[in-house]
Structure formats: structure tokens, C-alpha cells
Amino acid sequence: MINIRLAHERGNADFGWLDSKHTFSFGNYYDPNHMGFGSLRVINEDKVQPSKGFGTHSHQNMEIISYVLEGELEHKDSIGNGSVIRPGDVQRMSAGTGIAHSEFNGSNSNGVHFLQIWILPEKKGIKPSYEQKHFPLAENLGQLTLVGSQDGRDNSVTIHQDVNLYVAALNKDDKVEHLINYHRSVWLQVARGAVDINSHTLFAGDGAAISQEEKIAIAATMDNTEVLLFDMA
């Protein structure tokens, strides 16, 4: 079973300095039919104007992943981390018992385009932590690359939940398949470009909730296509 979440049906918050599209209910956008999928709670597609950003704010008991598509996002937090997140980087922040952080576009001329992803943790009250790794997708063009997992295998970032996060950079006619184990589901998010999946066509910003399927076949129909695949219990 495949249920498509079209990009234009998402919630939207436009603050001038920030344009944010919400796949699931978030902030002032509430849709009881779209509260998340499995342990996946938030996928926000955010575009931040030059020299703007999110001031210091707090989170608790959430696995927060930032994935930059364009530009550079500066991060600072209350446990001593400071970094710049660029395309190809995956940042994981475990809020646990509580963490404060800020995210800022330090460029005076270029915008930042990124995905902010929240995943419910396997348990509450863990120690806050931070991790950031780079995955050169150009070197793995045309295949799914594991970038996040519960056990941190294959040099992926560690997510405190039974979720395997894959990304793929694809050119037109590239095809990848993903087998789905029994009792597991998949969310596919198209970050850019377009793909056909099991006879459905998805474009940038579209997502798909996939359950009770043995596998998913992903075929890019445009160059410079990028997808994120969440395989979860």
C-alpha cells in the first residue's frame, strides 16, 4: 500500500525570512490526518534568507536531523557544539533531557535550503548528544547510502530509534530497489528532482507512506534527483 503526500498539500508557514513547508502537523499547522508516520514526526522543508536564522530555542526527547540541500547552516548548542552543515552532511542532535540550540544562515547573499526531520526516540530522558558526518553522494551516485541507523553501522550517524535512513543521488534512468522486511514500513521523501516508485510518480517535496509492500523500486525521471528513505519498525 502506497499513500502519496503531495507537496502542494503540505502546511506552509512564511515569515519572510523563513519559508517552511510541513509534511506533518507542526506549529500552527494542524491536520489530524497527517500527524506523522511511525516514529517519524516532522519533515519540514525550510528555506532561510541570507543573514537570518532560528534564535536559541530548546527541545526535549526528540531525535533531530538536519539535512542541507543548498547553502550552509551554522549550528551552536548548549552542550558545546558549533559547526557548519553543508550539502552532503547529516547532523543528528538527540535532545533527550533537554538541549538549547540555534541555527543561522551566515551568508550575506545566499539562502539556505534544508530539511529538518524529527524522530521520536525509543525512550525518554537520554543524555543529550550531537553527531555530524559527511557522505559524498557523488561518489555513490545511483545507489542508496545508509546515513543513519540505530547501531551506527557503516559509519552512519546513530539514531536512538529503530530507523534506517538512506539517501540517494540519482540521475535520469538510474534505478534502485529497497527490500522491506515484514513488519516494517518506509517513508520516501523526494528532496529534489522526480522519481517513479511502484507505478507512482513523485516530484520534489512529495512523500510516500509505504506499508505492506515487499520492496520499493525507485527510478529517477530527472537528472539531479535526491531522495531520503526511512525504513522503520
Sheet holding 129-134, edge to edge: 11-14, 18-22, 40-48, 112-119, 63-70, 89-94, 129-134
- Mean pLDDT throughout 153-160? 97
pLDDT over 90, % of the chain: 97
- Rounded CA gap, 91 and 109, in Å? 24
- Rounded CA gap, 100 and 16, in Å? 24
Q: Which three cell numbers stand for residue 217?
A: 523500486
DSSP 184: -
- Mean pLDDT throughout 195-211? 96
DSSP 172: T
- Mean pLDDT throughout 211-224? 96
The per-residue pLDDT for 138 is: 82
Structural domains of the chain in order of their starting residue, each with its CATH number: 2-232 (2.60.120.10)
pTM above 0.85, yes or no: yes
Q: Look up cell 491536520; give the residue.
A: 31
The per-residue pLDDT for 199 is: 85
